[in-house]
Amino acid sequence: MNSIVQLKDIVFDNPQFSLTTSFDREDFTKILREKFEVPQEVIDRFFSTVAGMNFYDDQSKTTRELFEEFFPGRSDIHRLLMEPITYANGSTLDDPAITYGIVFSNFMNRGVFTFEGGTDKLIGMMVTELEKNGVTICTKSKVERIIIENGHVTGVEVNGRVISAPTVISNSGITNTIFNLAGPESFSDEFMARAEAIRVNNSSCQVYIGIKEDATIEYKGDLLFTSTAPEFSSDELLDPHTRSKTFSVYYPKTRPGHDRYTIVASMNSRYDDWNGLARGEYEQKKEELIERTLVDLERYFPGARDKIDWLEAATPVTFNRYTLHTRGTSFGTKFEGLDVSRSLFKEVPGLFHVGSVGIIMSGWLGAINYGVIVANDVDAYVRSQENH
């Protein structure tokens, strides 16, 4: 807990406005009132509405309709409110408003946080805690199938070896879990009809930028939402030549003791725009992606090219290769995936799923939030079996 620290300077820079915010309710209220001249009563009503949203609300209202209700015709405000959430979970203006409201309220509650010391430090701490509690961690162990006998889960097959277990928790993505690992034959027709209706979310492109060991870069903020597109558009963000991207800037304070700088550029992307390309064309498009990123980067960090000693790009095909997620999705599924994920163990006793589904975000925040929920289900199930 002591390593979870707030990112206090979130920068927005686009043709409609430029500002820096701590990305919490107090600061957003001030910005909406003073910069965008929205009456306080409207701001309070908007925050109360999104804060009160929950899983059981009306799912027909879209985020676009929600914004028009409170801020009609204000595409600048729509951009301020929507852009960061689209980067966080891949949602669009035409998705259910609750998928926006629940995530947005989560951020507004406290702001944006990161783990000081980086993911490698966090994983190391997790390994220590897991092993202390008797957990065996197996790497290079690809699960080939989930074994289901007489309607109950009985274990998994890993590299041809059967590991028996009365409970299995899959984090392979809900579509992978159902269609590839467990198999459609393991579920009822009604359940499969719901599973087949699941839409996977979009993916991402990222450019990883390593700064030379003896070089420094000026402090410009922790997270930069940048765009030269005239207005926010979900389709524009997904375009292979999008003019919008996020720069996550890691200063030495982020990883104490390393005294190094790194930058990651992120862009939302479609799997189909990258899959199926010939090897040469694929590599060329990655180089073009890197070049466009550097052009944008130097608008904020002039001369940055001369300070870089590592450049690498990842595409939706990369995510598919390393995570095996359906269509390389980096944001799981659309909203309908949540109910299927939540009801998996009711279909096949002992089989559970964790992962990014609907309002459950990707990244550590999503893993922790949904992990706690599913852990409760698993604990209750295991205890019920013991009592039998």
Point out the least confidently predicted range of 249-258, 342-351, 371-380.
Answer: 249-258
| pLDDT for residue 105 | 85
CA distance 172 to 176: 6
| pLDDT for residue 55 | 64
Tell me the angle at which helices 97-110 and 75-89 cross, rounded to the nearest 10 degrees.
90
CA distance 205 to 98: 26
Read off the pLDDT of residues 180-206 as tens digits, 9 standing for 90 and up: 999 999 999 999 999 999 999 999 999
| pLDDT for residue 57 | 63
Q: Is it the case that residue 3 has pLDDT exceeding 70? A: yes
| pLDDT for residue 204 | 93
pLDDT band at 361 (very low <50, low <70, confident <90, very high): low
Q: CA quadruple 38, 40, 41, 42: dihedral positive or negative? A: positive
Contacts for 56 with CB less than 8 Å, ≥ 6 apart: none
User: Where on the phi/psi map is residue 231: left (φ > 0), alpha (ψ -120 to 50), or beta?
Assistant: beta
Higher-pLDDT residue of 224 and 331 is 224
Q: Using an 8 Å Cβ cutoff, are 71 and 78 in contact?
A: yes
CA distance 192 to 347: 10
Cα dist from 272 to 134, 195, 317, 357, whole Å: 43, 21, 9, 21
Tell me the angle at which helices 75-89 and 25-34 cross, rounded to the nearest 10 degrees.
150
| pLDDT for residue 362 | 67
Strand residue runs (E) in 84-217: 112-115, 143-149, 152-158, 161-164, 168-170, 203-211
| pLDDT for residue 100 | 87
pTM for the complete prediction? 0.90
CA distance 126 to 128: 5
Strand residue runs (E) in the chain: 4-7, 10-14, 17-21, 112-115, 143-149, 152-158, 161-164, 168-170, 203-211, 223-227, 244-250, 262-269, 308-314, 351-353
The whole-angstrom distance between residue 34's C-alpha and the CA centroid of its chain comes to 31
Q: Using an 8 Å Cβ cutoff, are 267 and 239 in contact?
A: no
Burial of 151 from C-beta contacts in 10 A (0-12 / 13-18 / 19+): exposed
Read off the pLDDT of residues 103-126 as tens digits, 9 standing for 90 and up: 888 788 888 888 888 888 899 999
Q: Using an 8 Å Cβ cutoff, are 12 and 225 in contact?
A: yes
Point out the least confidently predicted range of 90-99, 104-113, 317-326, 329-338.
Answer: 104-113
Tell me the angle at which helices 63-70 and 40-51 cross, rounded to the nearest 10 degrees.
150
pLDDT band at 138 (very low <50, low <70, confident <90, very high): very high
pLDDT band at 388 (very low <50, low <70, confident <90, very high): low
Q: What domains lie within the chain, and their CATH numbers? A: 24-110 (no CATH), 141-199+331-387 (3.50.50.60)
Q: Is it the case that residue 360 has pLDDT exceeding 70? A: no
Percent of the chain at pLDDT above 90?
Answer: 75
Read off the pLDDT of residues 270-296 as tens digits, 9 standing for 90 and up: 999 999 999 999 999 999 999 999 999
| pLDDT for residue 246 | 96
Q: Is it the case that residue 365 has pLDDT exceeding 80? A: no
| pLDDT for residue 142 | 93
**Contacts by residues 164-169 (CB-CB < 8 Å, ≥ 24 positions apart):** 166/350, 166/382, 166/385, 167/350, 167/351, 167/352, 167/378, 167/381, 167/382, 168/350, 168/351, 168/352, 169/352, 169/353, 169/354, 169/374, 169/378
| pLDDT for residue 75 | 96
What is the DSSP code (8-state) at residue 241? T
Q: Is it the case that residue 253 has pLDDT exceeding 90? A: no
> Two tokens at 352?
């559970």
Query: Across residues 230-241, what is the average pLDDT?
Result: 92
Q: Is it the case that residue 298 has pLDDT exceeding 90? A: yes
